[in-house]
Amino acid sequence: MEQKVLEIINNIRAAKDMAPIAELHTEDKLRDDLGLTSFDLAELTVNIEDEFDIDIFEDGLVDTVGQIYAKLS
């Protein structure tokens, strides 16, 4: 699961010509640490829902990688 989330985030970053992330940490903030915008978060939601059949933003905002992992576990 964690590797797939990393792949999804790196695909979004690659589309913006941003360098890939080598590894994710639970405390990484999606906006501040990973450089994702609101549009990127929408794309992240769609990609994660396609992969895992879970809407990570269904119950409110998700700010960190750890919160994504918690929703997927």
* pLDDT of 17: 96
Q: Cβ distance 72 to 5 under 8 Å?
A: yes
List the structure tokens of 58: 């269904």
* pLDDT of 56: 86
pLDDT digit string (tens) for 23-64? Answer: 999 999 999 999 999 999 999 999 999 999 988 888 888 999
Q: Has domain 2-72 been given CATH number 1.10.760.10?
A: no
CA dist., res. 64 & res. 62, Å (int)? 6
* pLDDT of 49: 95
- Residue 18 predicted with pLDDT over 90: yes
